[in-house]
Each structure stands twice: as C-alpha cells, then as structure tokens.
Chains A and B, each alone.
Chain A
C-alpha cells in the first residue's frame, strides 16, 4: 500500500522528463510482467523503498532511483507492449519513446514462457536488452530448473538468474550492466510470410521518415497493427497519417484482415517463447503447485470464501485494538506528565497565559493526542494488512468479490483499490489505474472514499469502544463492531457503485483477466520495520504539519471572543442547527472541516474544543474521554451518527488532489467529494429522524 509522501505526494503522476533530467550517465529501465519482482530488484539496487506487494498491479507509475552512475527506472508491469490500461501505457511509452540506454526485462522463473513473450517484444524495439530471470529461489523450491546459458545463446542477449529479495544474488545482474557489452545481433521475431511481405512493402516509406530513434521494422509492424493508443503517441510526434493508409493497403495486398494480423503477431511471440523454453526449462517435481491449489480451494470455496474473509478482517482488527491499548496508555501517561512539566516551566518563566494556552493547551495537546491515541492503531493495522498483501491474499479477495462487483457493472479489480483504500484512500485512487475500462476506473475512484482509511480507523475504534463495547476491556467486541462497520462501508461501496452505473456512468461491465499469484512467504521483519517506520514518520510529519496548526486555530477560536462569545461558539452556533439535524453538534462539524487535511485529527480537535472552554479534565483514559463527551451532550445516537459521518464525508485533501490528478476533471473531482458527503448527511439525518420518532 502506498502511504508515504513519495507515493501519495507530488511525484506520483510524475512526468518522465523530470526523472531523466539528471546527470546520470545511463538510464536503465526495469520492465517485465506484473508481479515478477521488478520493484524488489529496484529497491535492492537503489536502496529506495518502492512499495512491493504480492499481486499484479502494485506499481502503477514510474519511479526513478540512482544506482552507481545510472538512473534506474521501475516500470509498472505489463503482459505485452500492447497497452490495455493506463499503467501499462506508462510502461509501454517509456520503453518505446524514452529511449532508455538499456532495458532489463525481469522474468519469472516459475513462469518463464510468458515472461519471455514480453522480452521478445522488447527486443524488437531495443537492441540493448538484458534478460533477468528472477524468483530463482522459488523455482528451485518448486523443482524447476532453468538453463540460463542455453537461453542466452538462443536469445543472443545476456541472461542472468537472480533472487530479487536477496541482495547478494543481484551481483550477477550488476556485473552484466557494468560490462555493458551487448551483442550486436539478437534474436528477432519472425512472422509469417504475409506479414513479412507487408513489412517489406512499408519499409522504404518508413525509412524516409526523420529518425525518431525507433527501429524502422518495429514501426512498420506497429503501423500494420494500428494500436490506437500507440498510434496516437506516434501521431503526436510525427505526421504518419499517410503511412497508416499505406499500411492498410499493404495489408490488403497480402489479403490479411486486421484481426488476423494481430492474432498472427501475438501468436508468433507466444509460440517463439514456447519454442525458446523447450529444453531450457525442466520440471523435476510433477505437481509443483499443489500447496497453492489446496489453499485456494479453501480461501475461495463456496462455503468458506466469504466467512474466511470476514474472519481475517476481524482478527486483524482485534490484534490492532488489543495491541494498541498498551502503547496508547503508556504514551498518554507520558504526555500527561510532559504537560505538567511544560506548564511548570511556563509558570516558572512567567510566560503570559495566552502563550501557555496556545502552545501547551493548543498545539501540544492535539499533537500528543494524535501520537498517543491515533498513531498506535495505525502503526499496528498497517503492517498487519501489508503482511496479508505480501502473502498474496488480496487478489483472492478480488476474485471472491468479482461477482458482486459485476452485478454493479464494475470490475473485480475495484476490490483491490478498495483494499488499498483501507491503507490510504489516495493510494486506492491511484491504484485504480489497474482497471482497464475508463468507466469502471472512474467508479473505483468515486467510491474509494467509502471505505475508511488507516487515518479514520482510530476514530472508529475510539467511538465504538467508548459507546458500544462497554468499559475499556472488551477488545473482541470492539473488533466485531468494527468488522460490522466495515461490512456496512463495503455495502455502501456496492450500493453507490450500482447507483452510479445506472445513472452517471452507464455502461456494461467490460472484460478483464485477473492473475492469482502464488502464495509467498512474507518478509515479516522487513514489512514490520518498514511500515512502522514509514507510517510513524508519515503520521508524525502530518501531525506536525496539520495537527499543530489546527490545535492552535481551535485554541484561538475558543479564546478570542467577539461580543462576549468566543469565535468557536460563534462558528459552532452557526453550524449547530444543521449539525443537530444530523445528530451531531457544531463542534463536531467544525472538527471534520478542520480535519480536511488529515482525518486523524478530528477527535483531538473535538476534545480540544470541548475542553478549551470549560473544565480542564485530565484525559488519560478512554473512560474519562467518554465522560467528557457525555458531558457535552453525546448519547449513543450521537456516536452512531459520528461513525456514519466518519465513514461518509469528503475525502481528505491528499485524496482529493489525487483524484484530480487521476481524472484531470473538476467535475469528477467534485463528485468524489460530493457523493460521499451527500450520502453521509442523508444517512445521518435519516438515522437521527428515526431515533427521534421511535423514542
């Protein structure tokens, strides 16, 4: 899941030009099928921390990093150079038009044939290809052996075998990059005589074009193939319109129609790859994937598929809540002591009241609240979820949920975006690039905010624990309640997706294929260290940037008064009538508004606002917090409205900016905010009205 500044921040949509304007001597691209370990190799070479995960489609944009004096570029995975989806187009365009000095085609040793298909296509466009067979450790375990020398001989390009997770094994690859002696002639795909004839007919014309750095033979083939997105790219560079017409003529001259041509071309690559593997790959064990099949039978079975999904979710929540209790308590106590110390200091220095108020009661309080109460559950949930992702469970979720998504005329891969949304909605929105159909991709973007992100979980947990799980002890009950809340939010996702499919985004569900990767042992230590580290730094950074100023604003609003009434009361009073209709109060709404940059500060702001005006409570337990809320008029129905509105309101600023970047449309961005907000306001009002009627 992408949750750091680098993955949700400015360089996400990043243009390739920015990446390449460096002083690096060489630019080397890492290409390959999805989920073969490109990002893992990239990380190990550059020392960077691109997100990796055991499912196809983890990387959806370019990332560049420095390795020695080269710039290494990590590409999204693609099955072929014929792009079907946005993220594949990113990869295709880079290989075709950015002229990297070398392309490392990363292959999957356990599925070499299909990987070689892409390698062969890449060799058509680039003469400097290195084939890097990754996952050698996994192949060995499965009893697959690969004759790398034989393959290298046949392909005519360097072939190395590595295990991307092990840094040491990468030396084979780095040696080849460094030696950089690429053989002049490598294997070129040969097509049937009709196609070759058509190519020969076109070649003289193509040769008259000014040089684009693209091999003429490849250009001929692509002109014949008439791939829409590629043609558009080419047209934007040069006027090839007449050539396209020539290509059509050449094709009919050899009496092939367009579909036949495409079939023959695709089949040529697949068959050549099959031929190449003959004698190169040998299987010693007969059934090398029985374990995976057995696990799949259980996890995707008719009887147990859905219950197991819920069970896993509940277990993760339970571990999160239970695990966060102790560190939360510890941090709260620590910070409470800190506050006393600070206050002491301030009085000793004779600092004015307002300074103490603004700094200690404002900034310090909100900041420490975020750290003590919001951070621990985030720091536990996140690695747990990442582990699940690393094992390879997420694609199974998508597989299980495809049927309901199809009913909503959407794509099963939306489940993957949804799952990423649990980590961060911005990451979920970017992740929607794996969905081929633009309509279905928009559905995924517009509904992503319906699942709560990591930043909203602590809010939900706190409220559920305080108001519904009884005193502070019952983590299990809280976890079950939270699971129910998540079922509700997933239900909302389906409902809204369906509604949108019937109104704004009409259309039929489109075709798609979903790869279910092998289960892999997660890198537990690495995941935990990385995600706690990443997550903690990210939340701390955001807390400093957002929570602190927000705390200050709230304190000022509570203490600057106009006409005898504090600003806070003015604003809260203004919003109050509307908020009451939703079962909330003005302060809560203000907190949600101020929480726009970061959801995790909503509760701290509410507390801040309640305490800033009245009695100053010692708030070192959730129980005391509950007392404070009740003193401010909260009831169980306020809590329910709060849960609903936490789930359903505008996305945070980062998510919204990301939505704009992905859709490049003000309308869809506005709708991304409007739809969940409208749903939230409506549901809260309905609920409150129902409660009033019934009591």
Chain B
C-alpha cells in the first residue's frame, strides 16, 4: 500500500501519547485529545502545543506517572496521558 510520505508520518505521530514516554525521556506536546474540563485543566497547567515535558517516574503501582511540566511536577493517570499526543525529543 502506498501512503504519501507526510500522511505516514502524521499517523505515526498521532500514535504516540504521553504513556509512551519512559522515565527520563522528554517529549514535545503536539495536540490534546482530552475533552472538556480535563482539556482545560491540562491547558491551565501549561500543556499547550510545543511545551516540552519530561517523564520523571511512575508510582509504585505503575500508574500514575509524574511529569515535569514548566518547572512543576505533576502526576497524570495513564488514561489521561492518552489524551496528550507528543513527539519524543
């Protein structure tokens, strides 16, 4: 199957959300798919497009994970991480 080059890239990007970022890795926010109140909350804590976030670790149960966002450490559940599309950097 032949996809145009750009299309493939976009699809790949869209597949990566904050859950795929391992502790110690950094990523740049591409888009939010979270809705309503959570979307606004994420924007309020500074997760707008192009913001760089770093995964700091996971809680003992493996979820939630802690992220460094604009100088603050914020824990986000895996379900909510799905709504944050990123590109590793």
Cα distance A400–B73 in the bound complex, in angstroms: 15
With A82-B44, A266-B44 as given contacts, are A293 and B56 in contact (CB-CB < 8 Å)? yes
Asked if A516 is at the interface (CB within 8 A of a chain B CB), the reply is yes
Asked if B4 is at the interface (CB within 8 A of a chain A CB), the reply is no
Report 16 cross-chain contacts, Cβ distance below 8 Å, ordered by A residue. A79-B44, A80-B40, A84-B41, A114-B71, A266-B48, A292-B73, A302-B62, A403-B63, A509-B77, A511-B41, A512-B80, A514-B64, A514-B75, A515-B75, A516-B66, A516-B74
Contacts of B13 in A (CB 8 A): none
Cα distance A509–B79 in the bound complex, in angstroms: 10
Contacts A267-B48, A296-B66, A305-B59 aside, 5 further interface pairs with beta carbons under 8 A come to: A80-B44, A300-B66, A302-B62, A513-B42, A513-B74
Give the residues from 24 to 60 in chain B that come closer than 8 angstroms, CB to CB, to chain A: 32, 34-35, 37-46, 48-49, 51, 56-60
In the bound complex, do residue B59 and residue A399 qualify as a contact, i.e. CB atoms below 8 Å apart? yes
In the bound complex, do residue B66 and residue A117 qualify as a contact, i.e. CB atoms below 8 Å apart? no
Contact string against A for B residues 66-89, beta-carbon threshold 8 Å, 1 for contact and 0 otherwise: 100011111111011000000000
A263 in complex: contacting residue of B43, B56, B60, B73, CB < 8 Å? B43
In the bound complex, do residue B77 and residue A402 qualify as a contact, i.e. CB atoms below 8 Å apart? yes
Contacts of B51 in A (CB 8 A): 270
With A79-B41, A296-B56 as given contacts, are A406 and B77 in contact (CB-CB < 8 Å)? yes
In the bound complex, do residue B79 and residue A511 qualify as a contact, i.e. CB atoms below 8 Å apart? yes
In the bound complex, do residue A300 and residue B48 qualify as a contact, i.e. CB atoms below 8 Å apart? no
Cα distance A404–B62 in the bound complex, in angstroms: 11
In the complex, what's the smallest C-beta–C-beta distance from A216 to chain B, in angstroms?
23
In the complex, what's the smallest C-beta–C-beta distance from A144 to chain B, in angstroms?
9
Contacts of A305 in B (CB 8 A): 59-60
A515 in complex: contacting residue of B57, B58, B73, CB < 8 Å? B73
Asked if A110 is at the interface (CB within 8 A of a chain B CB), the reply is yes
B43 in complex: contacting residue of A267, A306, A403, A512, CB < 8 Å? A267
Contacts of B77 in A (CB 8 A): 402, 406, 412, 509, 511-512
Cα distance A262–B70 in the bound complex, in angstroms: 20
In the complex, what's the smallest C-beta–C-beta distance from B80 to chain A, in angstroms?
5
Question: Main SS of chain A's interface residues?
Answer: helix
Cα distance A412–B61 in the bound complex, in angstroms: 12
Cα distance A518–B59 in the bound complex, in angstroms: 17
In the complex, what's the smallest C-beta–C-beta distance from A136 to chain B, in angstroms?
15
- Closest chain A residue to B43, Cβ basis: A266
- Closest chain B residue to A299, Cβ basis: B60
Asked if A301 is at the interface (CB within 8 A of a chain B CB), the reply is yes
A84 in complex: contacting residue of B37, B48, B56, B72, CB < 8 Å? B37
The CB with the most chain A CB atoms within 10 A, among B32, B35, B66, is that of B66
In the bound complex, do residue A511 and residue B38 qualify as a contact, i.e. CB atoms below 8 Å apart? yes
Give the residues from 209 to 260 in chain A that come closer than 8 angstroms, CB to CB, to chain B: 259
Contacts of B73 in A (CB 8 A): 292, 296, 515-518
Cα distance A82–B42 in the bound complex, in angstroms: 12
B60 in complex: contacting residue of A400, A436, A512, CB < 8 Å? A400
Asked if A271 is at the interface (CB within 8 A of a chain B CB), the reply is yes
Contact string against B for A residues 86-130, beta-carbon threshold 8 Å, 1 for contact and 0 otherwise: 000000000000000000000000111110010000000000000
In the bound complex, do residue B62 and residue A515 qualify as a contact, i.e. CB atoms below 8 Å apart? no
Contacts of B57 in A (CB 8 A): 296-297, 300
With A111-B70, A301-B60, A403-B59 as given contacts, are A513 and B76 in contact (CB-CB < 8 Å)? yes
Cα distance A412–B77 in the bound complex, in angstroms: 10
- Closest chain A residue to B69, Cβ basis: A114
In the complex, what's the smallest C-beta–C-beta distance from B58 to chain A, in angstroms?
8
In the bound complex, do residue B71 and residue A79 qualify as a contact, i.e. CB atoms below 8 Å apart? no
Cα distance A305–B66 in the bound complex, in angstroms: 14
Give the residues from 277 to 313 in chain A that come closer than 8 angstroms, CB to CB, to chain B: 292-293, 296-297, 300-302, 305-306
In the bound complex, do residue A399 and residue B70 qualify as a contact, i.e. CB atoms below 8 Å apart? no
In the bound complex, do residue A111 and residue B72 qualify as a contact, i.e. CB atoms below 8 Å apart? yes
Cα distance A297–B59 in the bound complex, in angstroms: 9
In the bound complex, do residue A402 and residue B63 qualify as a contact, i.e. CB atoms below 8 Å apart? yes
In the bound complex, do residue A402 and residue B39 qualify as a contact, i.e. CB atoms below 8 Å apart? no
Give the residues from 354 to 387 in chain A that come closer than 8 angstroms, CB to CB, to chain B: none
In the bound complex, do residue A114 and residue B61 qualify as a contact, i.e. CB atoms below 8 Å apart? no
In the bound complex, do residue A402 and residue B44 qualify as a contact, i.e. CB atoms below 8 Å apart? no
In the complex, what's the smallest C-beta–C-beta distance from B79 to chain A, in angstroms?
7
Cα distance A436–B57 in the bound complex, in angstroms: 24
Contacts of B71 in A (CB 8 A): 110-114
Contacts of A306 in B (CB 8 A): 60
Q: Which 6 A-B pairs have the closest CB atoms?
A: A403-B61, A305-B60, A266-B43, A511-B38, A80-B44, A267-B48
Give the residues from 377 to 413 in chain A that come closer than 8 angstroms, CB to CB, to chain B: 399-400, 402-404, 406, 412
In the bound complex, do residue B46 and residue A114 qualify as a contact, i.e. CB atoms below 8 Å apart? yes
Give the residues from 42 to 89 in chain A that come closer than 8 angstroms, CB to CB, to chain B: 79-80, 82, 84
In the complex, what's the smallest C-beta–C-beta distance from B5 to chain A, in angstroms?
28
Contacts of B62 in A (CB 8 A): 302, 403
Cα distance A511–B78 in the bound complex, in angstroms: 10
In the complex, what's the smallest C-beta–C-beta distance from B18 to chain A, in angstroms?
12
In the bound complex, do residue A262 and residue B61 qualify as a contact, i.e. CB atoms below 8 Å apart? no
